[in-house]
Amino acid sequence: MKIAVLCSNLYNMDKNNKTGTGIFNYDFIRNLVKISKKKKYHITAFASGASSLPGTVESIDFTPSSFDTKIVENGKHIMFELALVSKAFTEQKKFDLFHVNIGDGDLVVPFAPFVKKPILITLHHIINEDFTRRYFSFFQKQENIFFVSVSNFQRKILPKLNYVSTIYHGVDTSQFLFHDRGGKTIMWAGRFIPQKGAEVVVRLAHKTKHKAKLFGVVKNGFEDWFEKNIKNVVHSQGSSSFVSVHTNYERSRLVKHFQKSKVFVSPILLEEAFGLVFIESMACGTPVISFARGSAPEVIKDGETGFLVNPSDQDIRGDWIVKKTGFAGLCQAVEKIYSMPVEEYQQMRHACRSHVVQNFSVQRMTEKYLEVYGTFSKKNFHLRTPHL
């Protein structure tokens, strides 16, 4: 069976990619090519030409569109995405299945009526619920479009899509190695944007008097927000003795910080489709504290691999161990971690690692996708939903 995996042309698919979907594509395709050889699948990745991927890579240009900042600033990188998608679909006779990993797949579905092969879209994130719901409704009768959700939470937001499976993201547990003792600091990592809650962690460190380390990527358009709400706050309020800020770290360099942190705190202010950083932290043994938004309750086992906190008294998502809500709830959860006896804390770290190995390894994720691929064989696909 011949599979075309469509990636974004915006960035190279390599170990230095800092985007969630880019990290997924890099880890997934490397494992997919390795495993699929034994099962007679041939994998072709459509990506920028400089991507470091095994197997066959097809592209429209050697350099990614982000190489020219003017292209991105003017929004013209979308045209490069479309050109790559067009190239893939013009070669549809070569493939039995197209697997799309570009955002939420909105750029791809208009091509579907011209494609005679199944198109499988992994729904990585939903930027605007109303837009996505309305937009995909235009293509509901298109029988060759299928979706994989990355959490069951996604299905609550968009219940009418043609889902074939929910497959959680996975982490390479051979790269994110376990550390049984941890350290003394709070850790946060992600994009420096308001919705990711970095400024809440600054307040948290100042309030609890526990040191915190922030590792993030300063996203284009949020430079002023970062300066005002993170850097300036850390220094002006005397929080620098509690908080250190690090920008644009390579992903591989974060492993030692995951390993030697006491707890990972993620006070997300949005409905996260899947928290990849959650499983990266837990793979290293570090428990996670998060607001119970989005997929967090599916990924974190309350009281076993960390703690879930209801966002507010008006927004109760579950009956969690921590009864306080909002910022006060985060503080209570942090203090519960720091007050644990050594043996109990180490037991939680071991539970974190086991939870990821059993449920969120990249190997398990890849096998799940291969199971889905198998339902789309030529003899079984007749423009209908496959039986899973």
pLDDT given for residue 387 in this prediction: 41
Give dist(CA 210, CA 203) in Å, integer.
11
Q: How far apart are CA 228 and CA 232, in angstroms?
A: 5
**Per-residue pLDDT tens for 301-344?**
999 999 999 999 999 999 999 999 999 999 999 999 999 999 99
Tally of CB atoms within 10 A around 32: 27
145-162: pLDDT as tens digits: 999 999 999 998 888 899
Domains along the chain with CATH numbers: 2-170+362-374 (3.40.50.2000), 185-359 (3.40.50.2000)
Longest Cα–Cα distance in the chain: 67
Tell the residue number behind the tokens 């993201």, with chain if given: 169
Provide mean pLDDT across the span 100-110: 92
- 103 CB-contact burial (10 Å; exposed 0-12 / middle 13-18 / buried 19+): buried
Cα separation, 1 vs 41, whole angstroms: 5
CA distance 128 to 361: 29
Q: What is the mean pLDDT of the chain?
A: 91
Under 8 Å between Cβ of 167 and 154:
no
Using a pLDDT cut of 90, give the percent of the chain over it: 71
Return the amino acid letter for 366.
Answer: T
pLDDT, residue 385, reads 46
Please give the helix or strand (H or E) that residue 216 lies within, else none.
strand 212-217
Confidence of residue 380 (pLDDT cuts 50, 70, 90): low
What span, in angstroms and rounded, lies between the C-alpha atoms of 373 and 5?
12
Cβ atoms of 308 and 288 closer than 8 Å = no
Contact 35/366 with Cβ under 8 angstroms?
yes
Asked if 66 and 72 touch (Cβ cutoff 8 Å), the reply is yes
The two tokens of residue 291 are: 């607001």
Mean pLDDT of 176-188: 96
Using one digit for the tens of pLDDT, what is the confidence trace for 216-247? Answer: 988 878 899 999 999 888 887 655 678 999 99
> How many CA within 13 A on the CB side of residue 65?
22
Q: How confident is the model at residue 384 (pLDDT cuts 50, 70, 90)?
A: very low
What pLDDT digit, counting tens, does each position of 59-90 carry?
A: 998 889 888 888 888 888 899 999 999 999 99
- 354: burial class by Cβ within 10 Å (0-12, 13-18, 19+)? middle
Distances (CA, A) of 47 to 57, 109, 283: 7, 18, 29
- Alpha-carbon distance of 263 to 244, in angstroms, equals 15
Instruction: State mean pLDDT over 366-378.
Output: 89
